[in-house]
Structure 1
Amino acid sequence: MRKVIIAFIAIGIIILIMSNIRITLPIIVSASIPSLSEVVNVTPGLKLIISDTNGSLALIPIKGYSAFINMVDYLSPIFVFVGIIISIALLVIKKNQKIDISDPLFFGILLMLIISLIFAFPIPTQVYLSEGSLTKTILIGINAYVGFSSIMYLISTVLLVMSTWLYREQTIMENLYSDIDQLMSMTVMLKSEEETEQSESNEEGQ
């Protein structure tokens, strides 16, 4: 449990850093278009100013046309910070508690955590540029999905808390059933001994 929570905290710190910056990396540029200056929609929450002057390609990210996604991207560091605080609190409170690795919920939580980490990094995105009859494509890497990544991270930490609580409740119920079984076994043994003693006394009386 302790190692899992430490991994959550470490990944949360990485996502927190990535959610505060925008990284744009040109990967594949087919050909330069002289004096190009164009604004393209990469995602609803992100536009990109692409300019090519004398063979020098510049990529400048700006806000997209969706106010909701812009707000989510703006609040993404807060979402991640809350998730990190939850993870730290869980580390302090539940550091000695075991967790059921075979639980499907735990597998889903780890999958969400991995997805949130992947989408925090620059994702290869193809962008189409046109100038007159010319159409060019460039492949860029940009971390345009930090809002989605931060929400996934926060949800995964909340589900981790629920998973530890459910595992604790399951352990309590299993211990309770074990105690009931022991009590029933003791009752059967006592009743059997009582019947044996009673039959022996009847035989002695005869």
Structure 2
Amino acid sequence: DQDACFVRAAADAGVEHVVKLSAAAVEDAGADDLITCWQRESEELLRSSGLAWTLLRPRSFMSNSLGWAAEVRAEGVVRELFGASLNACVDPGDVAEVAVRALTGPGHAGRAYVLTGPEAVSAVQRTARLSCVLGRPLRFEELGWEEARARWGRRYPPAVVEALLRSAVRQREGAKAGVDGTFARLVGRPARSFGQWAADHVAGFSGR
């Protein structure tokens, strides 16, 4: 509903071009969770609006790892479901850079861009790299299925929790491990790595 209101307001205001933040999962026929379905509906809403559009379809944001920060500071531990599963997560700053280019430069209308980081990394690997950046040992603890459900249930409504669990299963099956070179082609430099992102966010994990 919010997206529909936005598109109507943009059209009424004479906006000519909208850049929509979507998700890479919309291209995966096996992704039928609620969040991905919402994104597909929102994309179609924009495509049928009569406005010029560009779709940005990032993989998971590296900044999602800030959800670990409190436990990293207090216990030196990262807890996650399916810790060995790979995700070609992306620095949200890279997504923002493509958004600016799409809004201010020619040739982007009617295009959809998948945006990933330079490699697929697991939660275990991100923990190790974060440990190096912080200069202190961190340990990884695998969450069980029901533990993850309970944790997410403290933050999200049940339908969203189920969507996140289904998404995690797809990730375990390799659906989020593909690296895409679109960012480098558009911007002319490699996408930023998780280590680079973590180095910029030391304060969030250390409290210093």
TM-score (norm 1): 0.20
Q: Which has the higher strand share?
A: 1
Rg comparison, structure with higher value = 1
TM-score (norm 2): 0.20
